[in-house]
Structure 1
């Protein structure tokens, strides 16, 4: 089959925009009261330190691919979107169904997308922002026209429910957006600026070991469960996010007062509080889902975006700042000029 994508000339730069969004979370709720019966903890301790009240947990035979399919199906149902001509599919996840094939391949098969470059992206909790940045660049280059970007994780599959420092934090969910070439107004792009970086020396602060039994010469836990040094991740986040935001603002000449909505990775409400205080961004201009979903890793940002779209908080022309960070240690921030999307049903 011949590809419909034509190579771009060296002088051509295309624009892309988000045209549809969907989300999915499992039915089962794991509340703080439930956790009190599992480990030595209590609701007050969890809420004070994390802001989380409950999280969603996938069924025993429900995996990351199922969460992705649920999010994409909602996108299709709500926006009447056709997927047959999607030519790029990126799934940001740390919990793929298999080491290979990629979770993205299972999504491609389910929806019958015929001519699609499909792969998983491993950037932990920054996976969705990384995926959006990559998809936008691929469309801008002219190599692709229509991309499906998904952030999804089934962290309950890899959490140690005897470790109260981690099991209270994590939940399962997925969010998906459709990104399409936008030729309507080249002078008014949706994607304004990007910043990102890596500090690989902090890899031991949050990891899941599958094969290796050491990192930088130090032994690591090899039981396949998620391990996190919360104190170090907190320090990384509150130091890195303000610097990254300032980089985005310096690129564009904007100020924090001109950011209409801040959408950080929902790792912990204390992190969000601290970062917002440092940057002077009011919490009422911050979108997150931490209280009811917990930390869903790559899914937190699209879950918050989808909820804001559904509740009609995001308005045409709003300046929206996405910022993901996580295991690696990695971070990525995107500044968007929001363009309204309207459900068909």
Structure 2
């Protein structure tokens, strides 16, 4: 088992990566489960695969699992989903010293973490991410949020979990499309800060997506270690270091908004497209070569992820996509910083990007220039 510490002042916790963690949940949670009743938030898909095992593991250790099972998808990460979850937690008499288990992907982790952050001014929670994307990204670092009509993740809080259990067995239950979406966040760590790992991804990305256990263990462990270093340096995204993790997200969120934050475009697919766009825009600005930009596009495309926004069949122009960026939560004093690339493995935060230039670039990418 790999154990990666997230070192924060006074609030450090571990991310554990291995097979069999869900089946042995009480052994890992230890004293964090201090009462007989254990509140668990999940969705229907995850409950189908894991409820029986969790029930057995907790009951055998003298606990009483209490379930809140939500519909899968971004629709649950809403004001209504938050309100109803908080009301349920209150009805379960959750106290500030208790820990809620978030069992699921990024939607469940974000919603549960945000509910925990505001319940009685902050109670504990444990992340048990069941998707590749959540294991390498959203479960680590304490960002929690819900979506609103104005955009994605615009209402939330920084609230660190007490423990993260990344069970690799859960990845075997995922459809290939979900594994691909998670892989986008894996290769991101190579593109933004680790050229050696990017090279490893070029050679082994297909094995990660196909379910090779050794490749998945390495990919998850290396990705979490990379994020741990960045989060420890810049927990609340104030110095610019953590902002580099947003590589591909500014472009990607605009595409998600245009497709209605729906299953038409999964978050990881949007990030993959966003990273290709960020690389090509970096080349357009003269930061990297066109060759490096297309090497990134090829590596992403070789895994099976989308690389061309024309594949989405969007009925809009570049200006419409750029307008979505005006609602980005990273807007500061009327400007929007972009994560761009000086080279593969060397990302920078560019605070001098004109959105009209971005709109022109996106129009070209849409093939309507």
TM-score clears 0.5 = no
Give the TM-score band, short-chain normalised. 0.3 to 0.5
Higher relative contact order (CA 8 A, sep 6+): 1
Give 1 or 2: higher helix fraction: 2
| Structure with higher strand content | 1
- Give the TM-score taking structure 1 as reference length: 0.33
TM-score normalised by L of structure 2:
0.31
